[in-house]
Amino acid sequence: MGEEFYSIIKLTTGEEIFSLVSIDENNDDPVIILQSPVVIKTFHHNGNTIIKIKPWIELSTDDIFVIRYDKVVTMTESKDNKLIDIYTKYLEGEGDETIEDSHQVDISTTIGYVSSVEEARKSLENLYNNIEDTKES
């Protein structure tokens, strides 16, 4: 068996799966061994990217699957640490992930704060009084 690596695989069925992969080339018909393959979908909602992960084969109790090369359209090694972390957290039972986009601003009690009501009232009274003074002169 070959070295293990994380991979994104596009199958002839149209499915895209993410898995820890090993390639067995010892026999005449080489196969790909998938460990805990999952389907990953991304959604965008309210400025966040939500990643939904579900098992590739939902009703199976096994976590090792074997597929032949003729069922694969393309396969690429994934070195995306964020994606690998999300995958390993999912396998540890921590569920779906929400990734905060960098352009989102945290809520703060001082954002948009110009003045207190009392300060604004005094400022408006001064403006009004100054207008009245200039009209009289």
Q: Cα–Cα–Cα angle for 15, 68, 1, nearest 5°?
A: 115
Give domain status of residue 99, yes or no. Answer: yes
% pLDDT > 90, the chain: 29
Check residue 90 and give its pLDDT.
87
Spatial distance between the Cα atoms of 20 and 36, rounded to a whole number of angstroms = 7
Range of the domain at 77: 5-106
101-134 pLDDT per residue, tens: 455 556 666 666 677 788 888 988 888 888 767 7
- pLDDT at 23 exceeding the cut of 80: yes
Beta strands in 28-132 (DSSP E): 31-45, 48-55, 64-68, 72-77, 97-100
Give domain status of residue 39, yes or no. Answer: yes
11-20 pLDDT per residue, tens: 999 999 999 9
Question: Structure tokens of 122?
Answer: 């005094």
Give domain status of residue 58, yes or no. Answer: yes
Which DSSP helix (H) or strand (E) runs through 59? Answer: none
Spatial distance between the Cα atoms of 51 and 87, rounded to a whole number of angstroms = 10
Give domain status of residue 23, yes or no. Answer: yes
Question: Would you say 124 and 117 are in contact if contact means Cβ atoms under 8 Å apart?
Answer: no
Reduced to 3 states (helix: H, G, I; strand: E, B; else coil), residue 63 is: coil
Q: Tell me the average pLDDT across 69-98.
A: 83
Give domain status of residue 126, yes or no. Answer: no
Is 0.75 topped by the overall pTM?
no
The CATH number that applies at residue 67 is 2.30.30.100
Alpha helices per DSSP H over 1-137: 81-91, 117-136
Give domain status of residue 77, yes or no. Answer: yes
Q: What is the domain count for the chain?
A: 1
Q: Tell me the average pLDDT across 28-48.
A: 87
